[in-house]
Structure 1
Amino acid sequence: MSLPEVLLWQILRKQPGYVKFRRQHPIGRYVLDFYVLELKLAIEIDGVGHDMGDRPERDDSRDQWLESQGIRMLRIAAKDVLADPAGVADSIVRVCTER
């Protein structure tokens, strides 16, 4: 796990808002940073590597496949997590509890 993922996991693993998060969850040939099974919600933390080379195209392909499986994708910039992990965690929980 990257540093932003570790910082976020330290908060999400406590199941804020009674939402159960899974980390490094495999689905098909992919491994999701975080996943909420009950909501079929994938959460990906994107660092600068996601903007390089063919990575944007691979991310798009992955997102399309996940959507075809009924899984919604929530992408969050790693810099946002580094700047305010608690704020990002609160936003994620809010998205989960509003569904």
Structure 2
Amino acid sequence: MSLPEILLWQQLRGSPRGIRFRKQHAAGPYALDFFCARANLAIEIDGLAHDMGDRPARDEDRDAWLRERRVETLRIPAREVMTDAVQVAEGILALVEERLMAMGKKAPPSSLRDATSPSQVDGEDLSAGPPANEPKERSR
């Protein structure tokens, strides 16, 4: 992880406001900087290299691939994270909350879950444990 990614992860880890994020999340042929499965949102921190060479075209291809799987991409310049990681994290949390409200608090299924780990539709939610009517899984 780059320094801006580390700074942002320090703000997003631990499920702030009950919102869970994954870092360096595998999605088909890509690794997403951060991913919020409940909101079908990928978060990419873009340094200067993202403006050079064929990188803009590659980023567009990646965003299109994710969009086909109903995952939107939020691109944030690394310099913004370096300036104020707390403010950037607050903006991300506000966007996720807006998306969840628009979705009725439950994300629609994403075909990304076919290529990655389970999403909210497979049981990931805000609770710290299983629903009250389900027994906790026993460790072996």
Same fold (TM over 0.5): yes
Range moving further from structure 2, 13-22 or 46-55: 13-22
Letter in 2 for 1:74: L
Check if 1:55 corresponds to 2:49: no
Q: Which amino acid aligns with 2:35?
A: Y
Identity %: 53
Q: What is the TM-score when the length of structure 1 is the normalising length?
A: 0.98
> How many aligned residue pairs are there?
99
- Aligned counterparts, 1:60-75, within 5 A: 60-75=60-75
TM-superposed CA distance for 1:38, in Å, is 1.1
| Equivalent in the alignment of 1:14 | 14
Name stretches of at least 5 consecutive residues in structure 2 with no aligned partner: 100-140
TM-score of the pair, normalised by structure 2 = 0.70
SS at 1:31's partner residue?
A: strand
Aligned twin of 1:23? 23
Aligned to 1:98, the other structure's residue is in SS state helix
Greater per-residue helix proportion: 1
1:46 to 2:46 alignment: yes
Q: Distance in 2 between matches of 1:90 and 1:37?
A: 18
Superposed displacement of residue 95, structure 1: 0.4
**Structure 1 residue runs without a partner (length 5+):** none
Moved over 3 A (4+): none
Relative CO higher for 1 or 2, CA cutoff 8 Å, sep ≥ 6? 1
CA RMSD of aligned residues (A): 0.6
